[in-house]
Structure 1
Amino acid sequence: MLLYYTVNIIISRILLKIMNIEFLLSARFDNRRVIPTQDRLFKAIVSSLNEVNINPLVMLSEFSIIEDGNTLIYSFHPSSDPIYFEFKTDTLFITISTGTFGAGYHRFIVGVLDRIARRLDIEFKENDAHKDPSGYFRNRNFEELKKFFINSLANYAQMLITHHDNGFSNFMISMPYDYPLIEKSYFALSALGYWGKNWFTDFADANEEVRLSMSEEFFIWNNEEMNAKFWFKSFISLIWLYYPFREIIDDKERTMYKKIMYSFQESYKKDPSLKYPWDILIDIAHYLDDENLARFIESKKNTHQPSAEIGFRLENARYSIAAGFTISLPMRMNIFKNNKNLIEFKDINVYIAMQVYSFANDETDVIMEYVLKQIDIAGEDKGEELDIKVKSSNIQSIVYEKELEDDDYIITVAAAAKKLALLAWFTYTGKENRDKCIEAIKSIEVEN
């Protein structure tokens, strides 16, 4: 089963790159100008991009700098690929990816970079080997840009159909690259939900007029203006990708909830008649402790409208731990990777910590003996050994459980495979959460 998921995700990633529209720009600070330091340049770029008149999406944007300090990553929208800025010697390089978000976003990014260029008094030029394939950076013809996106989607649809006919499925389109593998069968999914094969077949067979209409469903931002549909699809995509359907458990999550509500409010101001997921929005307002907003949404709720069934984080997914170990968990859990060998998962009443070790020895009995000694060195009571094992035949496992205070429990898992070991601690509150921990333990696998 794991091999099936792995092969499907490789095919899916390849197809995503085919659909994606990526190009490179550069601008040189010549001798007539003072060449800035990298730190000052990045600060100037971020400062400019945090201005509403330059970046109207500033309320949804965020940035980070890669550890070596050479690359600034700026995300304009949580559902889109970020832009990469790299400064070498006297030249600023930019990598732009826009394909699966839509023609409107492509136009927006080029416009923002125009304003950045004027602010910095530089001129961006295309890389000869990686020019804007749509031609928009050169000709600025938006109607031609829309046609390019529609034709690209038609070609992409045909590729999906062909690969499905060859036995592949579960295609991930316009998804964050490290998005987990959802454990259910589907034809395709994107930031706007699940898509059936018939939709892509109909699109590939449609005439130009019908394709134009259908493309409005597929792309988040397909028009020039930031209209109600753009803002509506923005918060719908954020719910599909990131909303865990529970209370807030960290600051990053609180920020995402605020972005959902901001996009909803922008959409509602422009068109209150759209089919809003009222129940979800009411819950988010409560989780943000914004009772005034919750009452406002309650007052606008259409009681005759059925509840919207959206959100990938209602599903289970298979997550990579480290060194080939994987585990199946509810997607509502948040993930934290402190280093390449330690990973944590957090939910309201469940906390999981996992540590992976590697060995030169491939004898699982010897590895298991070592791991158990490490547990004993800590000197804490492991509790009682449970009659529970990891299902994978490639893994030897021992599981202990101990009751703590205030209805808290901890399950300790020692697992050994060839040249690898896993130590895991499942802490949960309330016996009603025990089964999900046990099922997760049983699901642990290791890639050969």
Structure 2
Amino acid sequence: MELVLYFKTDVRRKKEVRRKGLLKVLNALAKEYDFRIYPNETVFALEFFPSAYLYLELLEGNLNGSAIIATWGPGYHKFLCEFIDVLAKRLKVSFLADDESKYFETRDFGKLTAIYLQKLENHLKACYEEKNPFLVWENPDWYPLPLPNTFIAPLKRWDVEEVRTVIENRFFNKFALNFYIWPHAEKDEYFFRNLGLYLLRTEFPWVEPRFSEEESMIILMLECFQKARELNPVIELPDAEIEAVKMILSGEEAAIGQGYRNETIVYRISGDWSVKLPGEFIRRQEEDTTVFWSDQRIVRIGDVEIPQEMRDISIEEIDDAQEARGEKVYYEAGDLEYRGNLFYVPDEEIPYYCLDGVVKRGNYLALVVITWLEEEDTDWALNTFTSIIKKQ
């Protein structure tokens, strides 16, 4: 379920946009609107809120833009249109927009809200009838594991009975307040509460912050909840979890609350590979290898395509080419083949356990190295290894 907003410079105006001038304008606007800019040579991603992006592409002096609006809602749609107006004015250009809702032309927020409600109603009914566990999920890097009789959305995991009640009683207006992050025209108590809930349920790993970005995210979350309470003293907030977050931020132990990142989630990896890991793991890229780490456990996965001249090679031949150490690991699931060596490394400084293996599907390999410190995590390492799959 989504609405997409497209726009481009009106080439009839003969005004070209230059990269240097565009960056200057964007940097100035970033200070006013508090967004991040991720630029490359021709594409600029503007992140207004976590995972809320506006993409700009500069091609031969013309500027094209797009934004996918799903759970962010009609308030964000309105905000983007107003931002595009400001951008056009600063660049001294005109934009032609392709807006399915027609809001860019009409600026009728009542009609815009009605469109979002109708889309939500249609989508909710379809997911319920088709038993689709994902009401919506936009993060390209990972997704939660579906649970029986539940529906996944960024602000919460909905029970099937809750959704049935909404549909049967046509409580779509109330549902929208708990589904769209920005349901109204202004940044009211629902905006701040829902942005806080988004960070709590989808971004917060329920561990003490490990770097400055995590700490900033937690502070923003708490500020959102505080602002929501200031705007509406009786608005319902997850007060017990908010107190737990404050304790974790200060380094104290606290009860773990609800959130996708305190569950096992599925991380997508290049080459259409994926792996199941606890959501608290931190991800980074080291050239062609994706690295996940958390406390005493590290997982490294590299994607390799078998060269044309070697495609007759079997998993056994690949396994035999590896140094034989420790205990052999064998596993198969359909056309996925797993081979590895599990062994202990008595390092003088930090002794550790290691699973060095390979996963093969067709002409593709995942080269895997998993290391951990405690013997009791061996089953976790084996389960992680066999959770690595490649889409067909």
Q: TM-score range by the shorter chain?
A: 0.7 to 0.9
Q: Secondary structure at the match of 2:142?
A: coil
Tell whether the 8 Å contact from 1:83 to 1:96 is kept in structure 2 after alignment: yes
Distance 1:424 1:211, change over 3 A: closer
Question: Which residue, out of 433, 436, 441, partners 2:380?
Answer: 436
Tell whether the 8 Å contact from 1:392 to 1:444 is kept in structure 2 after alignment: no
Match of 1:64 in 2: 38
Match of 1:146 in 2: 113
Tell whether the 8 Å contact from 1:389 to 1:442 is kept in structure 2 after alignment: no
Q: Does 1:41 align with 2:2?
A: no
Question: Does 267-276 or 38-47 show the bigger shift?
Answer: 267-276
Tell whether the 8 Å contact from 2:267 to 2:276 is kept in structure 1 after alignment: yes
Q: Distance in 1 between matches of 2:28 and 2:223?
A: 21
Deviations 1:18-51 (A, max 9, x none): x201121122477786x44213313312321331
Q: Distance in 2 between matches of 1:444 and 1:97?
A: 30
Tell whether the 8 Å contact from 1:353 to 1:425 is kept in structure 2 after alignment: yes
Question: Which residue, out of 308, 327, 330, partners 1:386?
Answer: 327
Root mean square deviation, CA, Å: 3.1
Q: Distance in 2 between matches of 1:92 and 1:324?
A: 31
Tell whether the 8 Å contact from 1:38 to 1:87 is kept in structure 2 after alignment: yes
Instruction: State how 1:404-419 maps to structure 2 within 5 Å.
Output: 404-405=347-348, 408-417=351-360, 418-419=362-363
Q: Distance in 2 between matches of 1:111 and 1:290?
A: 41
Deviations 1:72-95 (A, max 9, x none): 111211153x11111222322111
Q: Secondary structure at the match of 2:178?
A: helix
Counterpart residue identity of residue 212, structure 1? N
Task: Quote the offset at 1:329 in angstroms.
Answer: 1.3
Match of 1:7 in 2: none
Task: Quote the offset at 1:107 in angstroms.
Answer: 1.1
Q: Does 1:171 align with 2:134?
A: yes
Distance 1:152 1:447, change over 3 A: closer
Deviations 1:406-442 (A, max 9, x none): 6641313222535444433323344454442233234
Q: Secondary structure at the match of 1:400?
A: strand
Tell whether the 8 Å contact from 1:408 to 1:428 is kept in structure 2 after alignment: no
Tell whether the 8 Å contact from 1:22 to 1:97 is kept in structure 2 after alignment: yes
Match of 2:151 in 1: 188
Of Structure 1 and Structure 2, the greater strand share is in 2
Task: Quote the offset at 1:223 in angstroms.
Answer: 1.0
Instruction: State how 1:273-292 maps to structure 2 within 5 Å.
Output: 273-289=234-250
Q: Distance in 2 between matches of 1:261 and 1:95?
A: 30
Deviations 1:339-360 (A, max 9, x none): 4x41100112212222343323
* Structure 1 gaps, min length 5: 1-18, 299-306, 377-381
Match of 1:357 in 2: 304
Match of 1:123 in 2: 94
Q: Secondary structure at the match of 2:182?
A: coil
Give the fraction of aligned pairs with identical amino acids, expressed as a percent.
17
Q: Does 1:99 align with 2:99?
A: no
Counterpart residue identity of residue 334, structure 1? I
Aligned length: 385
Match of 2:318 in 1: 367
Q: Does 1:228 align with 2:189?
A: yes
Task: Quote the offset at 1:138 in angstroms.
Answer: 1.1
Q: Distance in 2 between matches of 1:446 and 1:90?
A: 40
Q: Distance in 1 between matches of 2:181 and 2:127?
A: 20
Distance 1:280 1:435, change over 3 A: farther
Distance 1:211 1:288, change over 3 A: closer
Question: Does 350-359 or 242-251 show the bigger shift?
Answer: 350-359
Q: Distance in 2 between matches of 1:136 and 1:321?
A: 37
Tell whether the 8 Å contact from 1:155 to 1:204 is kept in structure 2 after alignment: no
Tell whether the 8 Å contact from 2:178 to 2:194 is kept in structure 1 after alignment: no
Distance 1:206 1:388, change over 3 A: same
Q: Distance in 1 between matches of 2:14 and 2:212?
A: 45
Distance 1:311 1:333, change over 3 A: same
Instruction: State how 1:200-349 maps to structure 2 within 5 Å.
Output: 200-206=163-169, 210-289=171-250, 309-323=257-271, 325-339=273-287, 341-349=288-296
TM-score, length of structure 2 as denominator length: 0.86
